[in-house]
Amino acid sequence: MPITDLLKRNAKMKGGDIAIVELSPRSGSDRIVAWRDYESGASYPDLARRREMTWKFMDEQANRVANFCLERGIRRGSKVALLMKNALEWFPLYFGVMRSGALVVPVNFRNAKEETRKCLALAQADAIVFGPGYEEQITALHDEACGVKIFVSTGPLCPPFAESYFGGVSRSSPEAPAVRLSDGDDAAIYFTSGTTGEPKAILHTHAAIMSVCATEQAHHGQTGDDVFLCLAPLFHTGAMMHWLGSLVSCGKAVLLRDGRPKPILDAISTEGATIAFMLVPWVQDILQEVENGSLSFGDFKLDQWRLMHIGAQPVPVELITRWRKYFPRQQYDTNYGLSESMGPGCVHLGVENTHKVGAIGKPGHGWQAAIVSEDGKPAANGTIGELTVKGPGVMKRYHGDEESTASALRGGWLFTGDMGYADEDGFIFLVDRKKDVIISGGENIFPIQIEDHLRSFGKIKDVAVIGAYDRRLVEVPIAVVELKEGASATTDELVSHCESLPRYKRPRRFIFADVPRNPTGKIEKPRLREMYGKSEIS
């Protein structure tokens, strides 16, 4: 069935139950409001610390969004971009756009204007819905004729060329539109993160998104009693696809608009969260504040928190080892996936396999995975090759890019660009992105191996190893090191720590600086290479 039918089912089965809670701890208002408090035709709602929406109201609002789109000429095959931070409005917009037959196109809200322009052009967007804070960027794009015809603002400031979401949608019908959808219909366009170059537009069908529901529930066993904490940005498949476990089980989700340690623990405690999808930086920050005495887990109600899982980037073993000292009975899972595979779950560790922390795991529910050599043949256990996956969530294609599609999709297999190996038990370990491998004097160096070694130093919060230019060897490894708060270390100490590494793997330079990560937690290595990798080392 189309993914939109699950929302319709939930509205019938559990219509009065709360579907989504939005928490905004930084809000200056102490008001607690429900979505229905906004009168028909109301202007932008005052930001409150807590907002909530039931399944029935989400379903009705999605119908209003669909009818709103149809009334403005948006039809099957049209593309509607969403440029907004996490908010309740995201969910009825997501489903409503698809109910009109159009494709929903989530856009990274951290994009600069030119990056947004590229995404709109790649997707061939017909309309864009933008949130508060993006009026200036959208006005510039409108004035420069970016190709978008319809502009809708969900914020309090509505440029003259745009229409107000709250005023317009509220006047549209809450009845389901007469648009028939099928599993094979195009549903969404997502974008690659751009950490290895220009973003690509990824086309997915309703069937691909629906497949995630089965995969997510099979992996994490969500029921209607579970409460899912979502912090990651909804424009990325990682957050939205994990939420599908709540959609399929009719469980409540909490959308937290604050990634600081105390608000995270407060939300888990006060909302009774049982599952939290985290990124490495948030776990690092929580542990740092607990270990330096700024926070105490004992001040929060956390007994009900049954599962913490991480995805989007390699997970340091030492991080989970430290975490499990505080939560020895809590389930843990590592999720691996790409936007091209409809997000996380094509490979996952499994809550029963914490003895293999460090691996990304085995093929997920309904998936196949294989490590292949350069000639495309299966690699022997322990031999490094490229990870390939095959399953129901594989993209239809890169929209408008036949060459990249042909390179990534071969014989039904998705070539991920991630390098790894399988151990004797079939567990897959990643060693790095294919494009991040450093080739020094003919030797392949995988930065993750050096990064893991440096993290064992104890004073390091985050680290990134990149290749820098060398006249003789072409490339040599250097390390950008971000120390824990209050910690100090010298280059000599790090050099000494790395003496146990083979000589060619030892970083030639240590740079003490922040390690930048994108909204999904991935290290921005192209940015670091631009900053530090062009100066000659020798």
Query: What separation in angstroms does the CA of 308 have from each of 21, 282, 445?
Result: 19, 12, 32
Alpha-carbon distance of 149 to 168, in angstroms, equals 16
DSSP 278-345: E-HHHHHHHHHHHHTTS--GGGS--TT--EEEEESS---HHHHHHHHHH-TTSEEEEEEEEGGGTEEE
Q: How far is CA 262 from CA 4, 451, 487, in A?
A: 35, 28, 21
Torsion sign, CA atoms 516, 519, 520, 524: negative
pLDDT of residue 537: 66
Could you read off the pLDDT of 347-385 as tens digits, one per residue?
999 999 999 998 999 999 999 999 999 888 899 999 999
Q: pLDDT tier at 39 (50, 70, 90 boundaries)?
A: very low
Over the Cα atoms of the chain, what is R_g?
23
Helix axes 206-220, 4-14, angle to 10 degrees: 50
Q: Are strands 186-191 and 252-256 parallel, antiparallel or unpaired?
A: unpaired
Are residues 232 and 520 in contact, defined by beta-carbon separation less than 8 angstroms?
yes
Task: Give the Cα separation of 381 and 424 in Å (integer).
Answer: 6
| Cα 445 from Cα 84, distance rounded (Å) | 39
How much is the pLDDT for 166?
87
Contact call for residues 525 and 480 (beta carbons, < 8 A):
no
CA–CA separation, 478 vs 476, rounded Å?
7
Quick one: pLDDT band at residue 495, thresholds 50, 70, 90? Answer: very high
**Coil vs helix vs strand at 530:** helix
Give the model's pLDDT for residue 216.
Answer: 94
| pTM for this model (two decimals) | 0.84
**Residue with more model confidence, 42 or 299:** 299
Query: How high is the pLDDT of residue 252?
Result: 97
Q: Which residue has the higher pLDDT, 126 or 472?
A: 126
| Beta strands, E only, 146-251 | 150-153, 163-164, 186-191, 201-205, 227-230
Residue with tokens 């789109």: 69
Domains and CATH numbers, the chain: 53-205 (3.40.50.12780), 437-532 (3.30.300.30)
Q: Which pairing describes strands 275-278 and 32-34: parallel, antiparallel, or unpaired?
A: unpaired
Q: Which token pair is 451?
A: 């990064």
The confidence score (pLDDT) of residue 519 equals: 66
pLDDT exceeds 90 at position 493: yes
80 vs 103: CA distance, rounded Å: 6
Q: What percent of the chain has pLDDT over 90?
A: 69
* Residue 435 banded pLDDT, cuts 50, 70, 90: confident
pLDDT of 132-163, one tens digit each?
A: 999 999 999 999 988 999 999 998 889 999 99
* pLDDT reading at 307 higher than 70: yes
Tokens of 112: 């600069």
Side-chain half-sphere exposure of 138, counting CA atoms within 13 A? 30
Question: CA 238 to CA 256: how far, in whole Å?
Answer: 15
pLDDT value, residue 491: 95
DSSP element (H, E) containing 479: strand 474-483
Q: How far apart are CA 445 and CA 478, in angstroms?
A: 11
Does position 193 have pLDDT exceeding 70, yes or no? no
- Number of residues that this document lists for the chain: 538
Residue, of 437 and 78, whose pLDDT is higher? 78
Which one, of 227, 170, 215, 207, lies nearest residue 17 by Cα?
A: 227
Tens of pLDDT, residue by residue over 245-289, are: 999 999 999 999 999 999 999 999 999 999 999 988 889 889 999
Q: What's the rounded Cα separation, in Å, for the pair 260 and 285?
A: 8
How far is the C-alpha of 94 from the C-alpha of 247, rounded, in Å? 13
State the residue for tokens 């890169």. 398
